[in-house]
Amino acid sequence: MSTFWSLWIIVLTVVCLALVTWVLFANRKVAVSDDEEPENRTTGHVYDGIEEYDNPLPRWWFNLFVATLVFTVAYLIWFPGLGAWKGIGGWTQENQLEAEQGKALEEYKSSYDVYSQMSIEELVHDGKAMKMATRLFANNCAVCHGADGGGNFSFPNLTDNDWLYGGSPEAIKHTLTQGRNGNMPPWGPILGEQKVAQVSEYVLKLSSQDYDLKLATEGESVFSQNCAACHGAEGKGMHALGAPNLTDNIWLYDGSREGIIHSVRMGLNNHMPAQKDLLREEKIHLLTAYVYSLSFEYE
């Protein structure tokens, strides 16, 4: 907050407070003409012949007003409210958040400690741990990967036993902790439209979809020269690079002819954010077990 705006807020607040105080104190007395007793004055309202006395207001009411003013001043001294003034109470949003987080940590520490000692295989069969992990998944992962981990357009399905980077507990844990960057360069400018169309047709053939025989045959050599380095000679993918298997008809993006052409032409960039700074070790451990368990078939 710049000095100007800080002053702006301070001046506005203080002036308003002073005005309110002045209004309250300036109106403590009312004028009455001498020829009428104040006790018998009415407000002049008449309803069905019932008149309303203009009696003085109770004193405690005035005192309540004063109390609110005192509270305001005390509040503005204690808490940050006046522009850049930090308040002498030392309260900040961050402080409060950390205190709350500390409390939560304290509360769950014991259970996390137990689970951290267990192996992934053991956790999978521990109902309580899995429940905790289910909640963690819903809060941290479901936004992209779907509530059931079934994935979405451009977000991998975690339930189908098809892995970009490998499905071992270690690989999953690595993915969660460090994140992943999947990246395929745009081949359009390199190969030209003709070859893009050919190689895409070949990929259609690989994934056992309907394809044009002539184009696909031409595409095979394009594939082995340019794509096999990552996707493997048979197009089975490579876990080390996160290069997807092109033969299983499971698609992260659009797997139709147009979709494949687009992907080859423009390239793809996929980013799984690293969780190591967002989630603590213990949580990642639990989530690893959960994601690992998702690919089992439960019947």
Binding footprint of another protein on the chain (CB under 8 A): 27-35, 37-39, 56-62, 127, 131, 134-135, 138, 142, 146-150, 152-153, 159, 298
Shortest Cβ distance from residue 170 to another protein (Å)?
Answer: 24
Shortest Cβ distance from residue 11 to another protein (Å)?
Answer: 30
Q: CA-CA distances (angstroms) from residue 27 to 19, 23, 35, 52, 246?
A: 12, 6, 22, 21, 83
Shortest Cβ distance from residue 46 to another protein (Å)?
Answer: 17
Q: With contact defined as beta carbons under 8 Å apart, do 156 and 164 qualify?
A: yes
Name the token pair of 4: 């100007």
Crossing angle (nearest 10°) for helices 281-294 and 93-117: 60
Shortest Cβ distance from residue 253 to another protein (Å)?
Answer: 13
Name the token pair of 121: 């295989």
Nearer to another protein, 121 or 148 (CB): 148
Rounded Cα distance between 143 and 246, Å, is 26
Shortest Cβ distance from residue 290 to another protein (Å)?
Answer: 11
List alpha helices for 181-236, DSSP H. Answer: 188-206, 213-222, 228-231
Phi-psi region of 83 (alpha: psi -120 to 50; beta: other; left: phi over 0): left
